[in-house]
Structure 1
Amino acid sequence: MKHLTLLTGASRGMGLSMARQLLSAGHTVLCISRTSVPELDAHARHVGATVLQWAHDLADSGSLNGKLEGWLKDSQAEAPWASATLINNAGVIPQIAPLSEIAADDLARALRVGLEAPMQVTAAFLRATEGWKAPRKVLNISSGLGRKAMASQAAYCAAKAGMDHFTRSLALDEALKPQGAKVCSLAPGVIDTGMQEQLRAAPAEAFPDKASFVGLKTGGSLTSPDDAAARIIAFLARPDFGANPVADVRD
């Protein structure tokens, strides 16, 4: 049985942890990130899995569509997959400041990577796999900030809120199809990643909630990337995955 997982933002943090944990015998993981990680190639060989690493900047997600659709169709023609899963994990935080102070290019990049790319990649994935008999899943990694506004985080909050709502709409689309994909936008909890470091390092005058994020670190309230990845993968395997299109891993 061959299982396929597509994962964006797999080169560091929780994404890298997910990639490692998804690589097991009989599994193929296609990682889409700005950079490749040699460690994943070595790990895949060790466990008897297959990893493919595509270096692509998701700020230009539209140019990826044709390549992704073609690869999916060709791979299915060679030998049908037992399952196919897309995990949209990539995201960026622009300059931590009020919206009026963020450079236009920085703002555009945050929205392209955080919202446009998940929609573009999901559309390409669903188009290419529409006729597959194998079960298909789409997991969008969201955030509590998509459900609770925060000062100096307008772009990130907007991208994650948009991700939640496009997932709700997508779930309605797929429910009308005979073999529609199961979809969910999942908040993974607070995780000790580079994004947390960015928030803790922001100037206090630009980020009113800085002290809260420093407190999460000093109080030991952050989940490790490995533990967070394990909880997400376990959630993905739940028999009721997709029953609630917007969820929290802590539910």
Structure 2
Amino acid sequence: MGSQLHILTGASRGLGAAMARQLLASEGALLCISRHVNVDLAAKADAAPARLEQWSRDLADALPVARQLEGWLRNIEADRFDEAVLINNAGVITRIGPVDESADAEIASALRVGLEAAMLLTTAFLRETRTWRARREGRCKVLNISSGLGRRAMAGSAVYCAAKAGMDHFSRAVALDEAHRGAAAKIVSLAPGVIDTDMQTQLRAADAAGFPEQGLFLDLRASGQLATPDDAAARVLGYLRREDFGAHTVADVRGP
């Protein structure tokens, strides 16, 4: 693959940080959008093939970020990159427990980061890459990082489940839109498996009274079934590079 553009949200920690580190090895450019700049990533960037740019932005207020992304993409020559990829990875979880025990502002913020931001950034990306060579040649991709909880409801996680289910169905609808275009982008909403991240720490530490499945997550760690962020990132990016990327709009990294 030649020169690549990767745009990645939620790159400051966990799976996002691991993907960002691995994407630095790509020829081209990497734009990371997170609440906080990844200092470790910046330190590695000088010796890396990819040109790194980081924006410190709060995706709970995604509209100005989407507008900034549109302007940034508009200034890129249409034939510059052989491939262009948007990875919507950012997400947050509310307090683990029944939804009525979470603050209204917390619920609203989680939905904005986990769903609204992905929708707005995807729209900006699709709008501004319409004339790109990569789009005409079928090498524009949107990868939404979803979760098995978007497909299987779990007590104590209503808002997170809703955001991920919305991401899956949004991806399905966008894929139908793109199927009717000559220069179509490919879109996948991908569950990355169970990863040992801060979210897992929150789940294990939750009050079992409001989170009946806590024991499951304790067992996953005790039995060594949690993937490291680096291993999970390698699998996710491997899926992104598959020749049949886009054949299954809603997918799981562990499945077809």
- In the aligned structure 2, how far is the partner of 1:96 from the partner of 1:220? 23
The equivalent position to 1:169 in structure 2, one of 159, 169, 173, is 173
For the residue of structure 2 that corresponds to 1:138, the secondary structure is strand
For the residue of structure 2 that corresponds to 1:130, the secondary structure is coil
For the residue of structure 1 that corresponds to 2:107, the secondary structure is helix
Q: Name 1:108's counterpart in structure 2.
A: 108
How do 1:1-251 residues align onto structure 2 when only pairs under 5 Å count? 1-76=2-77, 80-134=80-134, 135-251=139-255
Gaps (5+ residues) in structure 2? none
Percent identity of equivalent pairs: 57
Gaps (5+ residues) in structure 1? none
Instruction: Say if 1:209 and 1:25 are closer, same or farther in 2 by CA, change over 3 A.
Output: closer
Amino acid at match of 1:100: D
1:25 Cα offset (Å): 4.9
Q: TM-score, normalised by structure 2?
A: 0.95
- In the aligned structure 2, how far is the partner of 1:237 from the partner of 1:42? 26
Say if 2:23 and 2:50, in contact at 8 Å, map to a contact too. no
For the residue of structure 1 that corresponds to 2:53, the secondary structure is strand
Amino acid at match of 1:228: A
1:75 Cα offset (Å): 2.1
Instruction: Report the RMSD for the aligned CA atoms in angstroms.
Output: 1.0
1:101 Cα offset (Å): 1.4
1:42 Cα offset (Å): 2.2
Amino acid at match of 1:160: K
For the residue of structure 2 that corresponds to 1:75, the secondary structure is coil
1:65 Cα offset (Å): 1.8
- In the aligned structure 2, how far is the partner of 1:47 from the partner of 1:7? 17
Amino acid at match of 1:148: R
Q: Using the TM superposition, name which of 19-28 and 83-92 deviates more.
A: 19-28
- In the aligned structure 1, how far is the partner of 2:251 from the partner of 2:36? 30
1:37 Cα offset (Å): 1.3
- In the aligned structure 2, how far is the partner of 1:207 from the partner of 1:235? 32
For the residue of structure 2 that corresponds to 1:32, the secondary structure is strand
Say if 1:24 and 1:44, in contact at 8 Å, map to a contact too. no
Q: TM-score, normalised by structure 1?
A: 0.97
Point out 4+ residue stretches in structure 1 off by more than 2 angstroms.
none
- In the aligned structure 2, how far is the partner of 1:80 from the partner of 1:212? 48
- In the aligned structure 1, how far is the partner of 2:250 from the partner of 2:14? 23
For the residue of structure 2 that corresponds to 1:145, the secondary structure is helix
For the residue of structure 1 that corresponds to 2:216, the secondary structure is helix
